Amino acid sequence: MEFTKIFSQAEVERVHEASLEILENVGMLVRNQKALEIFAKNGCKVDRESMMVKFPREVVEKARETFVPTYTFTAQDPKFDITMPGDRPVVVTGSSAPNIIDPKTGEERRATSDDIANIAYLINELPGFDVFSISTLADDAPEGQFSLSRFYPALKNCKKPVRSNTPNMEDLKAVLELGYLIAGGEEEYRKRPFINHHYCPVVSPLTFDVESTEAVIYLIEQGLPVYGTIVPNAGMTSPLSLMGTLTLGNAEFLGLATLTQMIRPGAPMIYAVLSTVADMRTGAYAPGAIETGMLQMAHTEMARFYNVPSGGYIGLTNAHTNDAQSGYETGMNTTGALLAGADLFNMGGLLGSLMAFDFGKAVIDNEVALMLKRIKKGYEYSEENLCLDLIAEVGPGGSYMDADHTLKNMRTIAVLPKVATREMRRRWEDQGKPDAHARAMKEANKILSKPNKARFSEELDAKIREQFKGLVAGDAKWSL
């Protein structure tokens, strides 16, 4: 599949050069002391009083020499392991929404650990999703178990790769202890680290924070999977210019990538972004805007220049319900990103600018994901697939409906949706005129009403609950 190109080679190289100019002449504010030490030790110009770091271009170019072209998400069940770019598009749920659309009332409320358990089970069963990025927070988390109350129900009910973050080092180490227990020990876990960590250590413009940067450094040092996302917001935290925001975001990626390679040369990375343009009429955050898709396409081209996997939060929506806006924002931006060559799509299940998870939206996004994978699969060119013998056999005015070739390919040549309707209007009316959301919720109910085969064994669950007293139940329980 050939990718859509936004820029000429000269323009790509100019964005790179401009990013180097930013890093060398403007620099980055680095609030984390360990990061300051690492930068100073590896040739950056560090002002410890102001915490400003400037990056000589030769330092950044040296880091580029150890960039690697692949990134793997590891799962509890090896059959769900997935590697970019070969397995692209890798489709991931949106993450960390504080709220959920209650599946019974349709009203927005705070999300709980029970919701996470149900979402985890749903994502485990939806074939379009490859990674479960824990979709919500857990408002019922006991004191001191904020992150455990998210990771435990996620890992208990989903065998696909699980991805999320933690707010501090104490929580991170508790989550790793959970991983060790599930794997049967730290040594076994390190062979297959199925908890995939993600942070936003760079706060635009050009600032490394404290806690997320600390976690990223620790995980890289430990050889555990982690990557960061760059999140400039044009008009607010980056210039109100697509090129300016691209260049600033690219500089921030290079700053983070340089830190990563200084810690452990050859550490896998993803050029991940959520570059947006603010709606300057109100200052509203607009992740569903078409410019988000355009910026993702441009960042993807820069990632290809650096030969690293790319993607990020793309296909999000500002819509508050599963309406036309939700559909066109998700569909337009993900298709553009796919055609540009993006590998990773954090797109599933969230409404209202990442504020609320909706079960119906997740099922609809599963179909979008399957369509994206179909586009990527493309045309299977061969002499056989030109079907010349079949066309001659059927001839003018004939029918292909009962041909053996048709029977052979009827379930594989096209996506067969479960939510999109293709029935005649009269039949749709007889069914009560269900809209896409109603059909999606029917499919979610069908899945979640069945026993969860992905669930932990009782023996393992008992060990976990013995280790972490007072832990949330973490069971998928569903009733509409």
Query: 195: domain CATH number?
Result: 3.20.20.480
User: Helix or strand or coil: residue 108?
Assistant: strand
User: How far is the CA of 367 from the CAs of 85, 284, 348, 352, 443, in angstroms?
Assistant: 21, 29, 10, 20, 12
Classify residue 343: in a domain, yes or no. Answer: yes
pLDDT averaged over the chain? 97
Domain count, the chain: 1
Query: Could you tell me which residues come within 8 angstroms of residue 464 by beta carbon, excluding any fewer than 6 positions away?
Result: 152, 178, 181, 182, 456, 471
Q: Is the pLDDT of residue 480 over 90?
A: no
> Within the chain, how many helices (H) and strands (E) appear?
17, 21
Residue 427: band (very low, low, confident or very high) from pLDDT cuts 50, 70, 90: very high
Structure tokens at 373: 């994978």
Classify residue 405: in a domain, yes or no. Answer: no
Nearest Cα neighbor of 198 from 344, 304, 335 is 344
Q: Write the pLDDT tens digit of every residue in 201-232.
A: 999 999 999 999 999 999 999 999 999 999 99
Q: Write the pLDDT tens digit of every residue in 358-416.
A: 999 999 999 999 999 999 999 999 999 999 999 999 999 999 999 999 999 999 999 99
Tell me, what's the pLDDT at 215?
Answer: 98
Q: Is the pLDDT of residue 347 over 80?
A: yes
Helices (H), 322-420: 324-340, 359-377, 388-394, 404-409
Q: Any idea which residue has 């820069």 for tokens?
A: 302
Angle at 120 between CA 117 and CA 125, to 5 degrees: 130
The answer to whether the peptide bond before residue 78 is cis (omega within 30 degrees of 0) is no
CA distance 124 to 116: 12
CA-CA-CA-CA torsion sign (412, 413, 417, 422):
negative
Percent of the chain with pLDDT over 70: 100
Judge whether 221 and 265 are in contact, CB under 8 Å: no
Residue 1: band (very low, low, confident or very high) from pLDDT cuts 50, 70, 90: confident
Classify residue 320: in a domain, yes or no. Answer: yes
Classify residue 277: in a domain, yes or no. Answer: yes
Classify residue 59: in a domain, yes or no. Answer: yes
Judge whether 440 and 419 are in contact, CB under 8 Å: yes
User: Helix or strand or coil: residue 343?
Assistant: coil
Tell me, what's the pLDDT at 369?
Answer: 98
Mean pLDDT (whole number) for 116-121: 98
CA distance 357 to 371: 21
Structure tokens at 65: 């020499």
Classify residue 383: in a domain, yes or no. Answer: no
HSE of 368, CA atoms in CB hemisphere, 13 A: 31
Nearest Cα neighbor of 197 from 185, 213, 183, 181 is 213
Classify residue 153: in a domain, yes or no. Answer: yes
Q: Write the pLDDT tens digit of every residue in 451-463.
A: 998 999 999 999 9
Classify residue 419: in a domain, yes or no. Answer: yes
User: How far is the CA of 21 from the CAs of 26, 31, 118, 220, in angstroms?
Assistant: 8, 21, 48, 27
CA distance 229 to 274: 7
Tell me, what's the pLDDT at 188?
Answer: 98
Residue range(s) defining the domain that contains residue 4:
1-378+415-479
Judge whether 204 and 248 are in contact, CB under 8 Å: yes
Tell me, what's the pLDDT at 479?
Answer: 80
Judge whether 321 and 288 are in contact, CB under 8 Å: no
Q: Write the pLDDT tens digit of every residue in 374-388.
A: 999 999 999 999 999
